[in-house]
Amino acid sequence: MNDSAAVIEIRDLRYAISGRPIFDGLDLKIARGGVTAFMGPSGTGKTTLLRLITGQLVADSGSIQVAGSDLCSLSRSELYALRRRMGMLFQNGALLTDLTVFENVAFPLREHTRLPERLVRDLVLTKLQAVGLRGAAQLMPGELSGGMTRRVALARAIILDPEILIYDEPFVGLDPISKGVVLRLIRRLNDTLGLTSIVVSHDVREISSVANTVFLLSGGKVVAHGTPQELRSFPSEIVQQFMGGLADGPVPFHYPAGDYYTELLAREGVA
């Protein structure tokens, strides 16, 4: 991939929390116009990476370029302007519980534009129609199912016509039908609106059906990347363990700890 084809480019990214390295020399490029997935074992920093890309966190070192802008060099106003070119679907939907579905979707328009009310109405109904929920415009969030909540949040995420749409674990807690609907929306919206979509997920089978490229993260770096089909045959034990959902492999079952029997004896006052 040449640099002009990359909408996001990360070089030698290093970031630690309380002295514990999360990323240790991470390098990756995200192609414009496709669906890119970040996958990997729990605790590898996938959601943290999204926060770094959106400027919610600041890297310890290295560079993150988004749409040609270096995040480290942006002023606060420039960062906010860049964020308006991104849409974000949060894990739980993050709808405002005191507002109707219509007002939730309209919220970014009211905050960031001065469009006339008639145009706001038309845009909101258009986005709700795109996710199949125009008829739910006057419902409250408490009246929605989990799948409907995620779809309303998606309508809100695309209301400003972003260039980059980010999904943080979009399938969590969804039944198979709702999961299938969200999968179809991810692919359809990406292709119809000409977006660059980034998806964080643990669902290997589901994400393999929509992603153009998958980055598998582990140990603070990219351990493999390619199409879902390429990763299934990638010659790496950790890749095979994750893609196959295997209990045994390089990712251990136990969190690092001292000797089990020594600790038990110490608690009993023997050691």
pLDDT at 12: 92
CB 217 within 8 A of CB 10: no
Please give the model's pTM, rounded to 2 decimal places. 0.81
Per-domain residue ranges of the chain = 3-85+162-267, 95-161
18 vs 42, more confident: 18
Q: Give pLDDT, residue 217.
A: 87
pLDDT value, residue 134: 92
Quote the CA–CA distance of 75 and 94 in Å, as a whole number. Answer: 27
Q: Using CA atoms, how far apart are residues 190 and 173, in angstroms rounded to an integer?
A: 23
- What contacts 168, CB < 8 A, 6 or more positions away? 47, 50, 88, 89, 90, 91, 200
More confident residue, 233 or 88: 88
Amino acid present at 34: G
Compute the mean pLDDT over every residue in the chain, rounded to the nearest whole number. Answer: 84
Check residues 91 and 11 and name the one with the higher pLDDT: 11
154-192: per-residue pLDDT in tens?
A: 999 999 989 999 998 888 777 888 888 888 888 888 988
Element holding 122 (H helix, E strand): helix 117-130
Residue 226 CA to residue 208 CA, distance in Å, equals 11
Residue 116 is given by DSSP the state -
Q: Look at 76-90, 124-138, 234-248 and tell me which has the smallest mean pLDDT.
A: 234-248
pLDDT at 136 over 60: yes
* Range of lowest pLDDT (4-13, 44-53, 250-259): 250-259
Residues 71 and 82: their CA atoms lie apart, in Å, by 9
Whether the pLDDT of residue 106 is over 90: the answer is yes
The pLDDT, as a whole number, for residue 153 is: 92
Give pLDDT, residue 125.
Answer: 95
Reply yes or no on whether the pLDDT at 56 is more than 70.
Answer: yes
d(CA 250, CA 152): 39
Q: Which pLDDT value is given to residue 185?
A: 86
pLDDT at 54 over 80: yes
Banded pLDDT at 268 (limits 50, 70, 90) = low
Q: 31, 6 in Cβ contact below 8 A?
A: yes
Per-residue pLDDT at 2: 47
Strands 86-89 and 164-168: parallel
Residue 205 contacts residue 37 (beta carbons within 8 Å): no
- What's the alpha-carbon Rg for the chain, to the nearest Å? 21
Taking 80 as the threshold, does the pLDDT of residue 113 lie above it?
A: yes
* pLDDT reported for residue 35: 92
**Domain 3-85+162-267 belongs to what topology?**
Rossmann fold (3.40.50)
pLDDT tens digits for 82-93? 988 998 888 777
For residue 3, the model assigns a pLDDT of 45
CA distance 157 to 37: 18
Alpha helices in 72-116 (DSSP H): 76-83, 101-112
